[in-house]
Amino acid sequence: MQISCRIVAILGLTTLGYLFSHTACAAEKPMMKAVVAHEYGGPEVLKFEEVSQPEPKENEALVRVIASGVNPADPLTLSGKYAREFGTHLPLIPGYDIAGIVEKAGVKVTKLKAGDAVYGYPTFGGGWAEYVTVTEGEVAAKPASLSFTEAAAAPMGALTAWQALVDVAQLGAGQTILIHGGSGGVGSFAVQIAKARGARVIATASTTNQDLLKQLGADVAIDYTKTRFEEIAKDVDAVLDPVGKETLARSYGVVKKGGIVMSLVARPDPAELEKRGIRGAAISVHPDAEDLAEIARLIDAGKIKPIVTQVLPLSEAIAAQQQAETHHTRGKLVLRVADDPKG
Ligand SMILES: NC(=O)c1ccc[n+]([C@@H]2O[C@H](COP(=O)([O-])OP(=O)(O)OC[C@H]3O[C@@H](n4cnc5c(N)ncnc54)[C@H](OP(=O)(O)O)[C@@H]3O)[C@@H](O)[C@H]2O)c1
């Protein structure tokens, strides 16, 4: 292919040759399989297609994706309602969680090299594809103790939990946190991170996920379909809310003075905060290589573990999106992009 491109480039002296050279060189662009949306909408707009591989800029690396996680953020992005906030544009390849192997690195990349096993969160998605470009700030070394499939379940959920509990709440030993949705993508990491930091954890989930809350280490597990959480959780230091609406509205009353309510889906009500002398934060996760490295250390120390409930082939991204939209995923769903060398 390389030779034919050069030959037609010589023929480029003629108009016809010029046209040929362009056609032949364009055909040489490396291709990849990807899940692509050409319009915003529901899961049905996703197509499994052959598209050009992304070309890394000087400050980027090209990663061969082995597995990619699924998040509620994927259907949100796909809806187009938050295109400005997410910085997305069409055509769109979803996928904020990746684990894979660095294929090549741009000249300004210093910490990544071909062959490195990495996991991370590309800011603008693109992970539901055989290749994705990342910057050094978006990935870290994959936890050695995890397969690529397990590692792909971690980035966005674990970073959200980490940035809320550690960076914002500075949760520590002797404190109590109420974690709503402790069985979900963010909550399952939050319960484990809180326990790893020595905090007491009260977590909520529906009936079928009570076993998971206990397995994750929650000290108290509440079935929110049967028990109002405020009957059990009182005077807590922090609340993590991935649900919003009524759950958030009822959460202010269980926080002790000086404590904090952190929501992933809404801005805590300033009037409620002021009235009760508590703090509030609307969490907005961001990629962070140092946080990912800290999380990898905790994973390799056996303190936290991604809960992978289901693994689907990349071609079944529509089913994955439909599950992500339910807001009742147990742990994480992962898309298999290539054979996982770690099983
Ligand atoms: N702001 C940010 O930066 C950020 C980052 C990540 C995620 N998010 C958002 O946070 C939300 C959660 O994300 P996720 O990945 O954890 O979602 P997920 O995997 O779908 O988990 C949702 C969790 O919420 C629980 N749940 C559902 N309805 C509930 C209710 N009425 N009361 C208590 N718990 C309830 C579910 O438990 P059951 O299945 O047992 O009902 C499950 O544990 C999503 O809306 C996502 O878009 C925001």
- Share above pLDDT 90 across residues of the chain, in percent, rounded to a whole number: 89
At residue 27, the pLDDT reads 56
Task: Provide residues with CB under 6 Å of ligand 1.
Answer: 71-73, 76, 156-157, 160, 180-181, 183-187, 204-206, 209, 224, 242-243, 247, 264-265, 283-285, 327-329
Give yes or no for a contact between 159 and 287, defined as CB atoms under 8 angstroms apart.
yes
**Which of 227, 263, 327, 330, when mutated, tests ligand 1's pocket best, judged by the most ligand atoms within 8 Å of its CB?**
327
Instruction: Name, in order, each residue with C-beta under 8 angstroms of 142's C-beta and a sequence gap of 6 or more.
Output: 99, 117, 118, 119, 148, 151, 296
The closest residue, in CA terms, to atom 15 on ligand 1 is 185
Q: Give me ligand 1 centre to Cα 8, in Å.
A: 56
How many angstroms separate the alpha carbon of residue 263 from the centre of ligand 1?
Answer: 10
pLDDT in tens, 174-204: 999 999 999 999 999 999 999 999 999 999 9
Alpha carbon distance 99, 60 (integer Å): 16
Confidence of residue 23 (pLDDT cuts 50, 70, 90): very low
Which residue's CA is the closest to the ligand 1 atom numbered 25? 181
Q: How far is the CA of 186 from the centre of ligand 1 (A)?
A: 7
Domain borders along the chain are: 31-154+306-336, 157-282
Q: Are 304 and 157 in contact (CB under 8 A)?
A: no
**pTM confidence score:** 0.93
Report the C-alpha gap between 203 and 181 in whole angstroms.
Answer: 7
Please give the distance, rounded to the nearest whole angstrom, from the Cα atom of residue 328 to the centre of ligand 1. Answer: 7
Measured in angstroms, how far is the CA atom of residue 330 from the centroid of ligand 1?
A: 10
Task: Report whether pLDDT(8) > 60.
Answer: no
Which CA distances in Å does 37 have to 82, 93, 130, 266, 327?
Answer: 15, 6, 16, 27, 22
- CATH of region 31-154+306-336: 3.90.180.10
| Average of per-residue pLDDT values in the chain | 93
Kindly give the distance from the C-alpha atom of residue 243 to the centroid of ligand 1, in angstroms, as a whole number. Answer: 6
Burial of 125 (0-12, 13-18, 19+ CB in 10 A): buried
How far, in Å, are 5, 94, 215, 311 from residue 318 at the CA level? Answer: 38, 11, 30, 13
pLDDT tens per residue, range 270-294: 999 999 999 999 999 999 999 999 9
- Atom 10, ligand 1: residue with shortest CA distance: 242
* Residue 5 in this model has a pLDDT that exceeds 70: no
Identify whether the C-beta of residue 191 lies closer than 8 Å to the C-beta of residue 216.
yes
Q: Let me know: does 311 contact 42? Beta carbons within 8 Å.
A: no
Class in CATH terms, 157-282:
alpha beta
pLDDT tens figures, 84-141: 888 899 999 999 999 999 999 999 999 999 999 999 999 999 999 999 999 999 999 9
In contact, 162 and 290? CB cutoff 8 Å:
no
